[in-house]
Amino acid sequence: MSGVADWLDGARVCVVGGSGGVGKTTSSAALAAGMAARGLKVAVVTIDPAQRLATALGLDELGNEPQRIEAERFAAAGLPLGDGELWAMTLDPKRTFDELIARLSPDDDTRERILANRVYRELSDAIAGSQEFTAVAKLHELAQEGRWDLLVLDTPPSRNALDFLDAPDRLRAFFEGRALQALLRGGGAGLRLIGRGSGLALGLLKRVTGAELLSDLSDFFRLLGGLLGGFRTRAAEVEALLRAPGTTFLLVTSPEREPIDEALYFQRRLRSAGMALGGAVVNRVHVDELAGEDARLAGLPALLERETGLSAAPARQVAAAFADEHALACRDAANVAHLRERLGTGVPLACVALLDEDVHDVDGLVRLGARLFA
Amino acid sequence: MPAHLADKRLVFVTGKGGVGKSTVAIALGIAAARRGLRTVVAELSGQARAAETFGIAAPAAEEVRLTECLHATSIGVDEALEEYLHERAGRVGDLLAASRAFHAFTAATPGMRELMTIGKAWELSQDPRRISGRRPYDLVVVDAFATGHALGALRTPATFAQIARVGPIAHQGRTIDASLGDPAHTAVVAVALPEEMPVTETLALRRGLREAIGQEPAAVVVNACLPERFGPRQARTIADALASTGDGLAQAALRTALSEHARARAQREQAARLAEGSGTAPVELPYVFAEAIGPAELGELADRLEVLL
C-alpha cells in the first residue's frame, strides 16, 4: 500500500477538513506535492490570511489565482516532480466574493450599487458561511477550467470544521432574505410597512436599531434579489461538485481527544449528507518505543549507567524523558484506537509520527509527505 | 512590562486554533479568583469547558459559581439579544424579541452574532451591570474566538457604530468600542505555541489588534513548552552513549530523549523569536504530560500565570 496515494486514486477533488492547529495546511500541501510527484497536475487551494503556505513554499505571497511552484524547489529537497506540476493559491475570500457578486449581477448598475452598499462593504466578511462558500465556489471554478488533474482544498479554519458543508444552504437562505424582505419594502429612500402586525414590530425595530441601518439593509437585500437566480444555480453546482464521484474528503486530526471528537462528528455529518470520506490522517503521533517493557522502566536509570556509562544525573533525566514520552505515546495510542474503532473498517487511517522539527519549509513538506505516502 | 491584568475588567484570550486558548483562559480565571477577585470565565459558541472541568452543570447563558470567587458562563447570542432588548425597552423589548421581524433582522444582519457576543462580554464587565439583579465582577476572562475571527469580532462594535451612524445600535457600538480601546478596561492575551506558524500568527496579531481596537496584546503566553532536560554538552554525551550501547531498551530511551531534546531546542528558538517580536516578555507554560487537563493541572498552570495579574 502506498498510503494516501491509494486513497486518492481516481479523485479529481480532495477536500481536507479538520479542526484548527492539527496541521491541515501543511498536510494539504504535502499531499498535493506527493501527488504531483506521481505525475499529476495538482493545485492546492488554501484560505490562509497569514500566508503560511506561501512561507512554507519559500514564496513571499500567493495570490488569488493558482501559481505554479518551481519544480526545482522540490527536486532540491529530494522530491522530483517529473511530469507532474504543483500549483498553489491563497484564497482571498473578500475578493472572491466580490468577483462572485460581479459575475452574478444582471447589470453594471446593480453590481456597483451592491459593492458600494455600506452593509456589504463593512460586513461581507461576517455573512455567515461566506468564507466557506467562496472557498468551494473557487474550487468549482477551478474544476470547470479543467486545467488540473487534482484539486486539493484546505478548508477554512473554523471551530466547526464542517461549516462549509452547510455554507451553500446558509448563504442561499441569506441571499433570499425572504423574511426580512417581506417586512421591508422600498429602498434607501424610506421604509414602507406592510401588514398591521408587523408594522408595530418594525416600528420598534427601527427604534432599537436606528433607521439608517435598516434602510441600508433593505437596500442591500433588494439589490441581492436580482442575483438570486444566478446564485441558486451556482449553489446547486457547488453542492453537486461536493457530491460528485470524483470528490473525496480527507480528515486531518492530531492524536488529542478534542480534535478527534471533532473529526468523528465531521464523519457523521459527511455520512448523513451522503458524501464520501476517503481517509483520515493523524498527525504528530508520539511513537511508543517501550514495546511492552513497562516493568523495566523503574530500573532504567541503573540500566543506562551500567550499559552506557552515563553518570547518574543524565541517566535519570533520560529515563524521565522516556517515561514522559511513553505516557504521551500511550495516550495517543488509546485515542487513535478510539478513532479507528469509531471510523469503522471502511475508512483507511494513516498515522504520521511526530517529527523532531515542525514543518515550515519545502524540506519539511517533503519529509511529511514521505510519511503520508509511506 | 507587567500586564497588571488584575487592574482590568475585561480580558480576551485569543490565539490560533489548537494552541490551548481555553486552558489558558480557565487557568487565568483560577489565578485571579485565588487573589480574591470575583472572576467569571466566559466561553463562546455554546462551550462550557470551565464548568465541565469543575464537574458543574452550566445551563446556557447562566452564570454559575465554580469556587468561592470563580464563576463561569457560556455566552449565548439569542439570550444576549433578549437581555439587550429587555434592558433597553422593557416590556416593549420583550415584545420585539419575540417578533418575527426582529428574528429576521438579526439573522439577516451580517456580524450581528459577533456584535452580540462582544456586547455580552462587555456587559459582564460593567459595574453596575446593565442587567438588573446581576452582581458585577472584578474581572471577566473571555475564552475568545481564534485569532482571525477574534479580530473581526472585536472590530464589529466600531463597524456597527459607523454604518448605523445614529440610533441605539450606533450608540451602543461606540460605547463598547471605547471600552475595548481603553487599556484601563480591556486587555488582550495572545496565546501561542513555540512553533513556527503559531509564532508568526501571534506576531501578526500584534499589528491586527492595533488596527482593530488600537491596543496591542497586554501579554503573550507560550503554551506547552517542553522541559529543557539537557544542555548541549550532555546531549552530545547522550548521542555518544546511543552509539556505544547494544541494549534495545537503553537505545530506545536515549533515542527518545534526544528526539525530545531536538524538539525542545526548536521550541526555544521559536520562543526567542516570539519574545523578540512581541515587545513583551512572554509567560511560558510547561507541557502537560498528563492524560487530560483537570483541576490539578489547571491549578499548576494558574501558578505560572499569576505574574500577569
Q: How far apart (Å, rounded) are the C-alpha atoms in residues B299 and B26?
A: 10
What is the length of chain B? 309
Q: What is the pLDDT of residues B69-123, one digit of tens each?
A: 999 999 988 888 888 888 887 888 888 888 777 777 777 788 888 899 999 999 9
Residue from A253, A305, A310 to probe the interface with B (highest B Cβ count within 10 Å): A310
Sheet containing B10-15: order of strands? B64-65, B70-74, B39-43, B139-143, B10-15, B186-192, B219-225, B283-286
Residue of chain A whose Cα is closest to the Cα of B242: A308
Q: What is the pLDDT of residues A321-367, one digit of tens each?
A: 999 999 999 999 999 999 999 999 889 999 999 887 778 889 999 99
Of B198, B250, B261, the CB nearest to A304: B250
- Lowest-confidence range among A98-107, A163-172, A287-296, B4-13? A163-172
C-alpha cell at A262: 471533532
Q: Which of residues 194 through 253 in chain B touch A, CB cutoff 8 A? A: 195-198, 200-201, 204, 229-230, 234, 237-238, 241-242, 244-245, 247-250, 252-253
Q: What is the pLDDT of residues B231-284, one digit of tens each?
A: 999 999 999 999 999 888 999 999 999 999 999 999 999 999 999 998 888 999
Q: Which residues of B touch A49 (CB under 8 A)?
A: 148
> Do the Cβ atoms of A123 and B261 come within 8 Å?
no
Q: Is the pLDDT of residue A142 over 90?
A: yes
Cα–Cα separations (whole angstroms), residue A106 to A174, A223, A230, A238: 19, 10, 9, 20
What is the length of chain A? 374
pLDDT at B46 (0 to 100): 75
Q: How far apart (Å, rounded) are the C-alpha atoms in residues B290 and B81?
A: 40
Residue of chain B whose Cα is closest to the Cα of A258: B18
Q: Is the pLDDT of residue A159 over 70?
A: no
How far B37 CA sits from the closest chain A CA (Å)?
Answer: 30
> Do the Cβ atoms of A204 and B167 come within 8 Å?
no
ipTM exceeds 0.90: no
pLDDT at A195 (0 to 100): 40
Q: Is B118 on the interface with A (CB under 8 A)?
A: no
> Do the Cβ atoms of A122 and B229 come within 8 Å?
no
Do A269 and A162 form a contact (C-beta atoms < 8 A)? yes
Q: Is the pTM of this model over 0.95?
A: no
Q: How far apart (Å, rounded) are the C-alpha atoms in residues A129 and A127?
A: 6
Q: Please state the rounded mean pLDDT for residues B182-192.
A: 96
pLDDT at A157 (0 to 100): 64
| A186 confidence band (pLDDT: 50, 70, 90) | very low
| B287 confidence band (pLDDT: 50, 70, 90) | very high
How many A×B Cβ pairs under 8 Å? 227
Q: Which residues of B touch A159 (CB under 8 A)?
A: 17, 45, 145-146
> Do the Cβ atoms of B107 and A179 come within 8 Å?
yes
Do A69 and A87 form a contact (C-beta atoms < 8 A)? yes
